[in-house]
Structure 1
């Protein structure tokens, strides 16, 4: 495949939007943690402990999602530079690595969504009881 500047450039808006979505998820979880912290200080409830454990895992996953997306973004920029200086073999290799990091980020996002759904299930179960 012939790699030109427009191919890695196509990833820029996709990765940027992905990072915005990840940041929104992070901010939502941060607000929830602050709310749960206040509740936990008032009552050390067992369901709150499970939610806190879930949030701790989710924060770690989101951190890795963001890191993977940023690495993908950086490698796409490096790819465009390598194409510019006509190091096409290296550009192809770096672009492939960039795509791998983007896929890792998306898989982590899927895992985080699953954990988020599970956490909501815990809250619904508590409300039913």
Structure 2
């Protein structure tokens, strides 16, 4: 088995940072959409707006879980580096492994959220097509 060095967990810093930036952008986009939907619903109490809000509630929750798992992954990468620095290689390997598992979990939440987003967009396209058929 190869020895875990400081560079191994450090390599994940840029990847996790980019992922967190993407997650934050998603979160900000959802916030803007929710504000618009809220205004729209207050003007016209439409059931379709309520369905969209319910959908967005789940997507926001998944985004929060993605962010928590991603940040935790980064935290365990930093902990791994510290454990290597203070010469606890066995604990460092376990901390790094946990960090990788958390990163995988974060990406699985992302896949789930993307599936919901795609399904939501398909519904919108269907609504547009139905409107043109009338």
TM-score range normalised by the length of the shorter chain: over 0.9
State yes or no: 1:62 paired with 2:63. yes
Aligned residue for 2:74? 73
Deviation of the 1:111 alpha carbon: 0.5
Rounded Cα–Cα distance in structure 2 between residues aligned with 1:70 and 1:46: 36
Residue of structure 2 in register with 1:111 after alignment: 112
How big is the shift at 1:37? 0.6
- Secondary structure at the residue paired with 2:73? helix
| Aligned-pair CA distance for 1:117 | 0.9
Please say which structure displays the higher CA radius of gyration.
2
Structure 2 partner of 1:100: 101
Equivalent residue, structure 1, for 2:47 = 46
Q: What is the DSSP-based 3-state SS (H/G/I as helix, E as strand, rest coil) of the residue aligned with 1:44?
A: coil
Shift of the alpha carbon at 1:87? 0.2
Q: CA deviation at 1:44?
A: 1.4
Alignment RMSD (CA, Å)? 0.8
Shift of 1:22: 0.2
Structure 1: segments with no counterpart, 5+ residues: none
TM-score, normalised with respect to structure 1: 0.97
Runs of 4+ in 1 over 6 A off after TM superposition: none
Contact kept? 1:29, 1:55, Cα under 8 Å? yes
Q: Once the 2 structures are TM-superposed, how far is the Cα of residue 47 of structure 1 from its aligned partner?
A: 1.4
Q: Equivalent residue for 2:31?
A: 30
Q: How many pairs were matched up? A: 129
Higher relative contact order (CA 8 A, sep 6+): 1
Shift of 1:43: 1.1
